[in-house]
Amino acid sequence: MSKRMMMAAAIGLSLLAVPAFATGNHAGGHGDMGAGKPGKAAKASRTVKISMKETDDGKMVYEPSQIVAKKGETIRIVVTNTGETDHEFVLDEMAKNAEHKALMEKFPEMEHDDPNAIRLAPGKSGEIVWTFTKAGDFEFACLIPGHYESGMHGPVKVSG
């Protein structure tokens, strides 16, 4: 089987295996998701700058390591990869990140087009503008195989 056919089969299987991603997390209907919904930059009340990197002792980290927000708040999250390898920032419910992480372990080269996620090469920056529509505990994480286990995840606390 050619590499192109294998990739098409992998994408097809991933859409069947995780219907939540097929119904609103990819190009198309980006309504409310687990941790909220895409926001409008003009409505952002503040900017949170986060760096992603590896440490000398082999850990992979985000700095700062957590986000605190209020229900209804729109935040511009500026993410910079200051490390030496690709990293991701995926904002979602913990259970959805766990499902996505398992899928990434099967298909590590999977590309994303989700408004709640960004993958960056070393030295690159990007941003997510997000409106937190629900109070609760959420998570941001790097779901590239091995990165989560190396410490690359943090809590998002949204107060009512």
- Identify the pLDDT of residue 150: 97
Which pTM was predicted? 0.79
Q: Is the pLDDT of residue 5 over 90?
A: no
Residue with tokens 């980006």: 30
d(CA 69, CA 157): 6
Tens-place pLDDT, residues 92-123: 999 999 999 999 999 887 777 799 999 999 99
- Identify the pLDDT of residue 32: 65
Enumerate the β-bridge partners of residue 148. none
Decide which of 145 and 110 is more confident. 145
- Identify the pLDDT of residue 36: 95
| Domains (range + CATH), the chain | 3-159 (2.60.40.420)
d(CA 39, CA 17): 28
Kindly report the average pLDDT of the chain as a whole number: 84
d(CA 23, CA 145): 24
In this prediction, residues 79-96 reach a mean pLDDT of: 96
Do 124 and 79 meet the contact criterion of CB atoms below 8 Å apart?
A: no
- Identify the pLDDT of residue 31: 54
Tens-place pLDDT, residues 22-69: 333 333 344 567 789 999 999 999 999 999 999 999 999 999 999 999
- Dihedral through CA 10, CA 14, CA 17, CA 20, nearest 10? -170
d(CA 42, CA 21): 27
- Identify the pLDDT of residue 34: 79
CA angle 141, 145, 147 (to 5 degrees): 45
